[in-house]
Structure 1
Amino acid sequence: MGGRCEACRANLNVTQKQIKCTQCSHNYHSECINFNNDTASRSEWKCPACTASCRKGGDNSNTPIRTNKSPSNTVYDKTTYRSSNKSTDQPTCITETSSCQPYNLELINSIELDKKLSAIKFDIIQELKLSLITEIKNEITSNLKQL
């Protein structure tokens, strides 16, 4: 595949597992977006940005929109309907790169935060292990001296 991962912006290496979005054709490290073969089919997979920008439920042109009620129209409830020129009920997706950028930044920040938290967690566990080992050694030494 090649290129850069849209999540972490690192170069994609041929030895790394990666996936291409079927909607926007951007490439991602499988690890960056937690993709495994059980998650979804590669031929249908959409990146988080395209999934987030895709309207769910199809055409909603007949969805009522309530207007603000003023004291003068408390008896009558005015309802306005959205007009649409669409002839299909297929979901409409926004595929512009600019709309994907804020989500990518959020995804990258989330990934970076997860990495930092994992590193902190690892350090704490190591510190606890060392402390526990030292405590046990001291206790054993103390008990052996008493014998």
Structure 2
Amino acid sequence: MTFATCDLCDANEDKLATGEIAVLPPVFKAFGAVEKFSGQVSTLKLFEDNGMVRTILDAPGNGRVLVIDGGGSLRCALLGGNLGVLAQKNGWAGVIVHGCIRDVAEINACQIGVRALAVMPVRSIKRGGGEHDVRVSIEGVAINAGDWIYADIDGVLVSPQALD
């Protein structure tokens, strides 16, 4: 990948000013073996229940990025090593978790990019609740299924269309 989020911001200052393109606040930590990733978005909205995460990551990712709105909960992890391996195996480019992850060493060995608020060793419940491919709001930024994510060491951009 040849993009840099700084360059994308510079080239799209007008769209940033109007809110057409947004940047997630700098609250996310980087994990996974892939430092830079981008792709079309699939969303999940759930709370302290990661049963649906496995269902989604078990499907072909086709280079997409899964954005999980976990409500910012810091009480349990929504993504662990087994799910990281599953995401890699099924061709997901990355996962952004508005919540926690665990099994950091395992996730860091996976050829995907991951962003999360924090690390928590406690696993979530697995009832399978949640909503898939709905509009979510992460730290005040609206993200829709089909949007595009661009993530690198400088930040995470959200755009309704692919950027050059």
**Which structure shows the higher helix fraction?**
1
Shared fold (TM-score, shorter chain, > 0.5) = no
Name which one, 1 or 2, has greater alpha-carbon Rg.
1
Give the TM interval when normalised to the shorter protein: under 0.3
TM-score, scaled relative to structure 2: 0.23
Structure number with higher strand proportion: 2
Report which structure shows greater RCO (CA 8 Å, sep ≥6): 2
